[in-house]
Amino acid sequence: MSEAPDRRGIDPRFFEEGPTLEIGHPVFMNYRREEVHPPFEMMEEMISRLESIEAEGKSLPENPEWARKALRSIYEMVDQLGEAIAPGMSCEAGCAACCRVMVSTSSVEAALIGDRLSSEPPDRREKWMELVRSRNARLSELSGRTDPPADLSTFEGLLATCEDWEKENLPCPFLGEGNLCSIYEDRPLLCRVCWVLTDPEDCSPGAGPPVKFRTKVFEKAYFVVSDISVRHMKNGSVSPIPWWLEPH
């Protein structure tokens, strides 16, 4: 019997939509009845590279700048895999269904978004922060309805409020014109791996749930990012994107 994967620090919602695609798994069908052929050799190489990043992170003293660079490397990998499987998926630019769900974001991912905010012109930064404050006010109201009030720096707190949040149908503060992400290069890992196999209609509010493409590469990437956050940012919290951008 194979050893169960270590899922510490990984949002349990990540595993809700059925079995994960193992290396060497046969092809499968999307809703259009098309065969999807995952690039298994690429995936094997990526697992090896992720293991190397993980090992390097464990061998180094606390280093937030290394953590940022490592995260960029991980993003590059998952984006490459995303490009390879995109033709078989339902997603396309401008859909933005996933931009209205609660995205659990780690401290190192939040650091990149914070860096992006700091680099923007003051007028654009303030426009984004107005939306951040608005979203956080609503998140505070929703988290206060639970008994006890939900802690939005934990997975338990996110899970206690995510359904109510998604009913609000409020877009991410960084969703821009044409339903396109304004911080696309800096978006979190979960935004990069929400590839949907089923009919796009399943992503509509109140429909679905959509079936998402899951692989060991995405799982390993998520775990490594979580480990980097703990070791090099000294913060293992997870929170919705806007929650990180204001003091609480």
pLDDT in tens, the chain (248 residues): 344 445 555 566 655 555 567 777 778 888 999 988 889 999 999 999 999 999 999 999 999 999 999 999 999 999 999 999 999 999 989 899 999 999 999 999 999 999 999 999 999 999 999 999 999 999 999 999 999 999 999 999 999 999 999 999 999 999 999 999 999 999 999 999 999 999 988 888 778 788 888 888 999 999 999 999 999 999 999 999 999 999 98
Domain ranges across the chain: 63-245
CB 93 within 8 A of CB 181: no
- Give the model confidence (pLDDT) of 6-33 as tens digits: 555 556 665 555 556 777 777 888 899 9
- For residue 239, what are the β-bridge partners? 105
CA distance 71 to 73: 5
CA distance 104 to 13: 10
CA distance 132 to 246: 8
CA distance 81 to 218: 9
